[in-house]
Amino acid sequence: MAKKKKKMPGLNTSSTADISFMLLIFFLVTTSMDTDMGLARRLPKPPEPDQEDATMDIKARNILYVRLNAAGQLWIQDEMNFGYGDIRELRPRVKEFVKNEQNLSRLPEKHVKNIDLLGQCFVTDKHVVSVQTDRGTPYNIYFQVQNELVAAYNELRNELSKQKFGREYQFLKDEEKAAIRQYYPQNISEAEPKKYGGDK
């Protein structure tokens, strides 16, 4: 006589929900949803061993010096004006310098450049903003200066893109962005830090 097949009792799964709830709560607690943010920069390529100092043959009118000393003071210098300045002065100065709207002889020289989508443009693509720091400069000051420089470029690009395309820079198509970037290239050079004094 064959044994009567026993019916397998169903597994009680009522606690699965509790277990997964506990796991869920664990991950909820450990998750940090805040996204990391920061100021994105690009470093220049490492120098070639036989490379000469290229900054020598840039005309004085094309360079805007931003120097930071160990005390955190800001020195802004172009061909005509120089002196200690406040961080709030930096953005308008950089914008004026990069834009050179009236084609002044003390501000960067302008060249005719053919840019896709924008046509013949008169741009200051040879300008350089040179940031020099001291080894003792507080990082926060340096960061704020970088932030202002990027802000100046962003404002210029936004103005141009509104004028040409009627939208803000961030809403443009990639090729339009590229055109704007050609019009206002970000030329920020960071020289080797100098020791302006102090024993550090």
Partner 1 sequence: MAGFKKKASREMPEMNTSSLPDLIFTILFFFMMVTTMREVTLKVKFTIPAGTELEKLEKKSVVSFIYVGPPTDNLRAQMGSSTRIQLNDRYAEAREVMDFVAAERRGMTNQAEQVISIKADQGTQMGYITDIKEVLRKSWALRINYSASRRN
- Which residues contribute to the site for partner 1 (CB under 8 A)? 13-14, 16-17, 20-21, 23-24, 27-28, 30-33, 35-46, 68, 133-140, 142-144, 146-147, 150-151, 154, 190, 192-193, 200
What type of residue sits at position 66?
V
Least Cβ distance, residue 26 to partner 1 (angstroms):
9
The number of angstroms, rounded, from the C-alpha of 190 to the middle of its chain's C-alpha atoms is 13
Of 76 and 152, CB closest to partner 1: 152
Of 49 and 83, CB closest to partner 1: 49
Tokens, residue 100: 């050179």
Least Cβ distance, residue 8 to partner 1 (angstroms):
17
Least Cβ distance, residue 6 to partner 1 (angstroms):
24
Answer whether 120's CB lies under 8 Å from 177's CB. no
Least Cβ distance, residue 187 to partner 1 (angstroms):
16
Instruction: Work out the angle at residue 60's Cα, subtended by the Cα atoms of residues 54 and 64, and round it to the nearest 5 degrees.
Output: 90
Biggest alpha carbon–alpha carbon distance for the chain: 112
Of 86 and 192, CB closest to partner 1: 192
- Neighbouring-strand partners of residue 188: 129
Least Cβ distance, residue 13 to partner 1 (angstroms):
7
Helix (H, G, I), strand (E, B) or coil at 111: strand
Q: For 14, which DSSP code?
A: T
Which position has the token pair 């009236």? 102
Answer whether 85's CB lies under 8 Å from 74's CB. yes
